[in-house]
Amino acid sequence: MPTAIGLRFYKLVPRRLRDRDKEVVDPAELRVPLQPFLRQFVDDQTAEGAVSDKAKERSFYFEPLEPYAPYSVRGLVRYGTFGFESRIKNPKSKKAAYNRAADDVEEIPLYFDIWCPPSADFALVSLQSFGVRSCVHLLVNEMQKQFEAINPGYRLHSIKLMGNDSPRSLFADAPVKKLILVRHDAYSDKFSSYRAGKPPTAIDMEVTYKAKRGASLGTLRDMGSSFSENDTGVILFDGGEFDVATAEVMIGNRRRPIGIIGPNSDTGSIDISQSVIYAPSGHPTFDSVKAQSNAIMQDFYQRLIRARG
């Protein structure tokens, strides 16, 4: 089964370091305004292993795949992991093909798109995840650090466009067609009854609520207010305990699953697994991710503009 592919979107806004009112920053105030900074940031991180975090044992660098447009740059992030040994075997012969050393870097390609809309005071960023692997935190933290170093007294504010706050923001009134709740490593008496004489086994349990045709389960705001969490982070809903909650809403003219509450790696991710084309490598093709990212990013942009009135 192909690995799940997600997209995460961020709004980047320059702010004065001690500005409680969050006023719009005039680009003339900055040594390097947002648009040229972002293009330079990509250019500066194109060498292999350009950013390497030894504490987290992660690295990344950019590989732009298209000529820079006036307001955007897109391509791949080569995201690496290192710090442990492993053995890579041929599944047919069972023979070791390669013994990976602890300082070898295993890289995977992840789609990225950075867009500064004309006349806007913000930028939009789209970053792909591959299963549970995501370069978001490493990349955004490095971007913020470099922006603040080159523009003393200012910070680069990063706003996650989906996530726990989404029911109160851009998609508050989006109708939910399906709600999926997942409990990992659950034990079910019903399931165990089919395994007579065997010890109970842990399972992943999924509960789905689906609206009838032409109806909805409520808005995303309704869904968000229906959940609570206990002190261990378990989601409580309708008398049950779950680890992840996902809702299907219309985004970019298509119904898409989004994580509305759950682990940090899942919350805010828009699942595009069913909408992309997978290459023989097991990774989605660049063009198929680009098509989905463009549609969703335009939807976000239009909603942001409307929200400003």
Residue type, 306: R
Residue 28 has pLDDT above 60, yes or no: yes
Confidence category of residue 163, pLDDT binned at 50, 70, 90: very low
Q: pTM, whole model, 2 decimals?
A: 0.76
* pLDDT score, position 265: 44
Helix, strand or coil, per DSSP, at residue 297: helix
**Annotated domain spans of the chain:** 1-161+284-309, 163-268
pLDDT per residue over 246-280, tens digit each? 788 877 777 877 776 554 444 567 889 888 999 99
pLDDT per residue over 99-125, tens digit each? 888 888 889 999 999 999 988 889 999
* pLDDT score, position 165: 40
Confidence category of residue 230, pLDDT binned at 50, 70, 90: low
Helix, strand or coil, per DSSP, at residue 58: strand
Exposure class string for 118-127: b at 16+ Cβ within 10 A, else e: eebebbbbbb
* pLDDT score, position 164: 39
Residues 6+ apart with CB under 8 A from 20: none
Residue 14 has pLDDT above 50, yes or no: yes
Residues 6+ apart with CB under 8 A from 138: 51, 53, 56, 58, 60, 79
Handedness of CA 48, 44, 53, 109 (dihedral sign): negative
